[in-house]
């Protein structure tokens, strides 16, 4: 397996749910779940939490260091710059992008994506049609440098990989969900207050599943408790509208699996 730096973007000042990464799910904060799961990904040699360089974000760095991750503080708005400079701490051939609001990120799926990018010599890889909340992307060090040097739209700087997705000549790969509709009706991300209510109810059902249940175990829990999906179902439409606006600003069609 290649040497990969997993960079988690995280901040306290979320407009929809402030301090969401510190909300307790089960026995620990959401961000701690993300860091622990990223440490469990095969091929990941370094986990870095990239947070804004603002005193209010000091607790993010404290949690990251306590959890065994590295920390980088950078531009609050230019997240692409934050990724580029965070990667300079370790300078690995591949970079994985994860966000701090995905406490169910699946190490097995992420490992599979790393393996495909490495074996196929791809520039960019992504998980496709999985529930929102399992999101991760893998790209090369060279592509990150090109994006940092070339991307100029504010929206491309804020959303890290939008510029990459617009490049026509990249070699791409993906790991697709076995059921192409898995992203429909499965929202596992922490972004709105109702997402928090959903995840807290979901984590309460994890007794006996170990500290890091995978996507199949989570799916099994939801199939036994279908009412849980209703808790944050309406959040998906709001998120879809927001995503379309982002892609419109970036002059790129929104992906089908948003």
Q: Contact 166/250 with Cβ under 8 angstroms?
A: yes
Q: Which of 14-18, 35-39, 190-194, 254-258 comes out lowest in average pLDDT?
A: 254-258
Average pLDDT rounded to a whole number, residues 99-126: 97
The per-residue b/e assignment along 26-40, b for 16 or more CB within 10 angstroms, e otherwise, is bebbbbbbbbbbbeb
pLDDT grade for 255, boundaries at 50, 70 and 90: very low
In the DSSP assignment, the letter for residue 74 is E
pTM of the model as a whole: 0.92
């Amino acid at each position: 397996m290649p040497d990969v730096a997993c960079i988690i973007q995280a901040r306290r000042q979320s407009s929809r749910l402030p301090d969401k990464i510190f909300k307790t799910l089960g026995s620990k904060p959401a961000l701690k779940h993300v860091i622990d799961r990223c440490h469990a990904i095969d091929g990941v040699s370094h986990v870095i939490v990239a947070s804004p360089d603002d005193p209010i974000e000091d607790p993010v760095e404290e949690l990251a260091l306590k959890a065994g991750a590295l920390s980088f503080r950078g531009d609050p708005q230019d997240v692409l710059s934050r990724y580029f400079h965070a990667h300079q701490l370790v300078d690995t051939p591949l970079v994985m992008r994860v966000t701090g609001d995905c406490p169910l990120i699946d190490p097995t799926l992420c490992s599979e994506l790393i393996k495909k990018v490495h074996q196929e010599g791809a520039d960019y890889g992504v998980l496709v049609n999985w529930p929102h909340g399992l999101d991760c992307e893998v790209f090369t060090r060279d592509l990150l440098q090109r994006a940092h040097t070339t991307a100029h739209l504010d929206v491309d700087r804020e959303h890290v990989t939008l510029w990459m997705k617009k490049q026509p000549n990249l070699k791409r790969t993906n790991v697709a969900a076995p059921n192409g509709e898995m992203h429909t009706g499965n929202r596992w991300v922490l972004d709105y207050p109702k997402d928090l209510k959903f995840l807290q109810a979901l984590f309460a059902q994890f007794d006996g599943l170990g500290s890091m249940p995978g996507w199949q175990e989570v799916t099994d829990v939801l199939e036994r408790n279908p009412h849980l999906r209703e808790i944050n179902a309406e959040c998906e439409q709001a998120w879809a509208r927001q995503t379309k606006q982002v892609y419109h600003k970036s002059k790129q069609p929104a992906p089908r699996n948003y």
